[in-house]
Amino acid sequence: MALVNPRDKKDEDRDDETEYSPFFGIEKGAVLQEARVFNDPQLDTRRCQQVITKLLYLLNQGESFTKTEATEVFFATTKLFQSKDIALRRMVYLMIKEITPSADEVIIVTSSLMKDMNSKTDLYRANAIRVLCRIIDGGLLGQIERYLKQAVVDKNPIVASAALVSGIHLLKNNPEIVKRWSNEVQEAVNSKAPLVQFHALALLHQIRQNDRLAVSKLVTSLTRGNVRSPLAQCLLIRYTVQVIHEASGISSSGGERPFYEFLEGCLRHKAEMVIFEAARAITQLEGVTSRELTPAITVLQLFLSSSKPVLRFAAVRTLNKVAMTHPLAVTNCNIDMESLISDQNRSIATLAITTLLKTGNESSVDRLMKQITNFMSDIADEFKITVVEAIRSLCLKFPQKYRTLMNFLSNILREEGGFEYKKAIVDSILILIREIPDAKESGLSHLCEFIEDCEFTYLSTQILHLLGNEGPKTADPSKYIRYIYNRVILENATVRASAVSALAKFGAMVDFLQPRIMVLLRRCLHDNDDEVRDRATLYLQVLGDTKDIAPDGAAAFLSETLNVPLANLEASLKAYEPSEKPFNIAAVSKEAKPLTIAEKKKEKKAQREAAATGAHANGVAPAVSTSSYENLLNAIPEFASIGKLFKSSKPVQLTEEETEYAVNVVKHTYPAHVVFQFNATNTIQEQLLENVEVVMDTSLADEFEEVASIPLKSLPYGSPGQTFVLLAKPEGAVALGKFGNVLKFKVKEVDPASGEPDEEGYEDEYALEDVEVTIGDYIQRTSVSNFRNSWEALDPGLEKVDEYGLGPRESLQEAVKAVINTLGMQPVEGTDQVPSNARSHTALLAGTFIGNVPVLARLSFGIDAQKQVAMKLAVRSEDESVSELIQDIIASS
């Protein structure tokens, strides 16, 4: 019999506990069915509480109820007022507040709430006040104002606090009514109940916040009085600092600072939160002096040795900020902060380390580095970046310690970490190389070792660029060649190209290395990538014939010091005629000439046309804007009268890679037409294609009819071109269909020697992949600033809701991405990204359907232990048929 390790069993139990949720798998429909229990003659109070809890959970997860559903739940909930159970009554108050009934429904519950507001049970009174102030409008508010003013000065602190908090919320929309409570609120400020005093002070400040003199008088009176509540005292400290900042004519060196004695007195308060708030306020004063800082720093130093992690964190974070401007004032706390390096809370340890690095002296650097070495492996990358930046500042402060600090950066550079973390280290080393000349060679050596295992292309190219610029200037430049050439052998094309450029700089700037460099560059002539081969060819030509270029021309060219405007260089190259005299770049004018108006227009037109064609050498078009496509299409006479372009799709590849002809298609949707733009590229050097067109088979798309076909007259090798097909459809109709495609053309053989094509050619054709017009071609991506407001503005009666099983998926993120791509709508508010390890997620999408019909979608995803994904899709639009079409996209996919 196999024995089970108790530790493994415990781990499994712990995993089960972390994954379990009492709300997992809750569905709105099932909960609404359960809500019928509210109508039972004999109420089961415990079950009613459970159902309300589920309803509140759904609402807080972003689930929305239709108007009918909300009304039914509201009326059912109001029936629970007959129950005398206090716990259930509290849940009823929460439910009514969350549903937020409409104006005509509020009247139904107002009488019950007003009855509770005058009840003998204080708990009912407090909750009824909160709910009433949340759901009633300004008209009804006047009817209960008298009760609210009485509640503000009620003897029961729960009731008074509820009225004050309600006043804070009401102040946003009904300021005139709340301002009439000033006398009652002023009286509540003197209450003995801590919470009442806190809420009263907050409301009184908001009432007076637009009157600077009134706020100053309020602060002056309260700082002389006796504020008992620690929370209210913290608020008073913040208001005091605000008055200090706003006061005019205050000088930190000329006499005592106003209210400073009050802030210093708060440092001796009984409550720790008040002490910390006062200390933080003093450190944030403008122009604060060392004398003023001393008592605050002393208090924060005591907090560093507190047994409470929150106090240690607050103190070290505040000291960290002070160290940026007053490092000497914090040095007395260094011994206490050193003990925090081993703190169990990694946030506290990180802040302690970075503060010590800002305030430490030169003799403590070595000791700090030893402590940090063991500490770095236990913290997240974001904290590591903070430490790296602090070390960089310390190295610039004590340049004599560059060896210790550079070795530390080199060691952590070889450890595991993400791109941002490694980039921070590399950037720090680059800054140290630039600012500390003695650190150059050791820094370059560390970077050379790093690129041997670097997995980030950006960092590799950045380092290779630095090696090319600084390596030739070192005492032994030959030692870097091996590291650079290894990149040519082992890395991707981008890094190989950078390595070739770096090698060429060594050959140009170090004479005795030039023969070896040229041997290495000749090996690069057989590289698989065009860019690498082209660079190697160029640099071999430059290095092999430098005298004909210019004095020191190779070094100048490779070090990018040729200060020649590109426009002047282009003009000189166009004007140059081949002759025995070679082109001399030194003769190009270095003075930049302003473009004429005609040249500017020509340049902009060329940029628009280049963007609109969207064809690359491999036949794949980049994404371009609809306006760029519209300019291209409007220039074609056949498309001038078909209306305004609604949407252009992304390019869809119709041929496989590395085929004779590369073709992709872009679909342009109009109100009554669809234009197919076929971007074609001829990849056969010995052929010229003429009369290129695409013949589309519309037999499987009954609603479409071909109107025009615009062939491409000539398609030479390597030069992309476009051919168009215009199909008509019923105006306003959402026509769908699938089309077969055949590329037809005339082939003319090209003489490799002369480059001239044959006079006669032959007809040929090439089968392409099918093209499909889907519902997504009638939906345009749209952004909305506030999804919730836009969602609620649409008629809930036109909402369509359905549920789907998406089958097994690798992750929830994969499922979300797949559905968003299928619908072709714009994700908003960052909901396209799923938090790590999330078991459920809600995505919000926005779009515009053809005919300028706005459409919004709310997608709720869930994934179980077997990675089966379920989705609930709710769609709202101004047109019910549009909502149904969006549902059809998922149903048919």
Kindly state the average pLDDT of the residues 202-230: 85
Main-chain dihedrals φ then ψ at residue 282, nearest 5 degrees:
-65, -40
- Give residue 555's pLDDT: 57
Please state whether the predicted TM-score (pTM) of the whole model is above 0.75. no
Is 66 within 8 Å of 799 (Cβ atoms)?
A: yes
Cα–Cα distance for residue pair 227/236, rounded to 1 Å: 9
Q: Which two tokens stand for residue 110?
A: 């107002």
Nearest-CA neighbor of 28 among 844, 803, 786?
803
Kindly state the average pLDDT of the residues 297-303: 89
- Give residue 371's pLDDT: 67
pLDDT tens digits for range 545-557: 544 444 455 555 5
| Matching fold, domains 101-209 and 482-559 | yes
What secondary structure does DSSP assign to 67-100, as a single string? HHHHHHHHHHHHGGGG---HHHHHHHHHHHHHH-
Element (H, E) at 158: helix 157-170
Give the least confident one: 23-27, 273-277, 617-621: 617-621
Banded pLDDT at 677 (limits 50, 70, 90): very high
Q: How far is CA 278 from CA 218, 238, 317, in A?
A: 18, 9, 15
Banded pLDDT at 675 (limits 50, 70, 90): very high
For the structural domain made of 101-209, what CATH number should be given?
Answer: 1.25.10.10
Tell me the chain's radius of gyration from C-alpha atoms. Answer: 37
Banded pLDDT at 18 (limits 50, 70, 90): very low
In the chain, the percentage of residues whose pLDDT exceeds 70 is: 87
Long-range interactions of 222-228: CB distance < 8 A, separation 24+ = 222/189, 223/259, 223/262, 227/197, 227/201, 228/192, 228/194, 228/197
Banded pLDDT at 469 (limits 50, 70, 90): confident
pLDDT tens digits for range 630-653: 777 887 888 878 888 888 888 888
- Give residue 275's pLDDT: 92
Banded pLDDT at 725 (limits 50, 70, 90): very high
Cα–Cα distance for residue pair 82/25, rounded to 1 Å: 32
**Confidence check: pLDDT of 253 > 60:** no
Main-chain dihedrals φ then ψ at residue 845, nearest 5 degrees:
-125, 150
What residues contact residue 619 under an 8 Å CB cut-off, 6+ apart?
653, 655, 661, 662, 663, 664, 679, 680, 681, 720
Phi-psi sector, 766: left (phi>0), alpha (psi -120 to 50), beta = beta
Give the least confident one: 276-280, 400-404, 694-698, 775-779: 400-404
Kindly state the average pLDDT of the residues 525-543: 87
Kindly state the average pLDDT of the residues 534-540: 88
**Confidence check: pLDDT of 676 > 90:** yes
Q: Does domain 620-773 have CATH number 3.40.190.10?
A: no
Banded pLDDT at 622 (limits 50, 70, 90): very low
**Confidence check: pLDDT of 623 > 50:** no
**Confidence check: pLDDT of 125 > 60:** yes
pLDDT tens digits for range 448-457: 888 888 888 8
Banded pLDDT at 878 (limits 50, 70, 90): confident
- Give residue 363's pLDDT: 66
b/e per residue, 746-784, with b = 16+ CB within 10 A? Answer: ebbebeeeeeebeeebeeeebebeebebbbbbbbbebeb
CATH architecture of the domain covering 482-559: Alpha Horseshoe (1.25)
- Give residue 67's pLDDT: 82
- Give residue 111's pLDDT: 78
- Give residue 627's pLDDT: 55
**Confidence check: pLDDT of 817 > 80:** yes
Q: Which two tokens stand for residue 196?
A: 């009442």
**Confidence check: pLDDT of 714 > 80:** yes
**Confidence check: pLDDT of 7 > 60:** no
**Confidence check: pLDDT of 529 > 80:** yes
- Give residue 888's pLDDT: 82
Domain ranges of the chain: 25-99, 101-209, 211-248+256-282, 289-360, 482-559, 620-773, 778-892
Give the least confident one: 10-19, 394-403, 662-671: 10-19
Banded pLDDT at 724 (limits 50, 70, 90): very high
| Average pLDDT in the chain | 80
**Confidence check: pLDDT of 861 > 70:** yes
- Give residue 273's pLDDT: 92
CATH architecture of the domain covering 289-360: Alpha Horseshoe (1.25)
- Give residue 305's pLDDT: 86
778-892 topology per CATH: TATA-Binding Protein (3.30.310)
Q: Which two tokens stand for residue 107?
A: 């009247």
Residue 684 burial class via C-beta count within 10 angstroms: exposed 0-12, middle 13-18, buried 19 and up: middle
Kindly state the average pLDDT of the residues 381-403: 74
Kindly state the average pLDDT of the residues 197-212: 87
Cα–Cα distance for residue pair 259/278, rounded to 1 Å: 11
Banded pLDDT at 252 (limits 50, 70, 90): very low
Kindly state the average pLDDT of the residues 14-38: 72
Residue 251 burial class via C-beta count within 10 angstroms: exposed 0-12, middle 13-18, buried 19 and up: exposed
Kindly state the average pLDDT of the residues 218-225: 84
Cα–Cα distance for residue pair 342/325, rounded to 1 Å: 26
- Give residue 665's pLDDT: 92
Cα–Cα distance for residue pair 128/163, rounded to 1 Å: 10
Kindly state the average pLDDT of the residues 421-445: 84
Banded pLDDT at 695 (limits 50, 70, 90): very high
- Give residue 693's pLDDT: 92
pLDDT tens digits for range 142-184: 778 888 888 888 888 899 999 898 888 888 878 888 888 888 8
Give the least confident one: 343-347, 360-364, 842-846: 360-364
**Confidence check: pLDDT of 600 > 80:** no
pLDDT tens digits for range 318-337: 888 888 778 788 888 878 87
Beta-bridged to residue 859, according to DSSP, are 843, 873
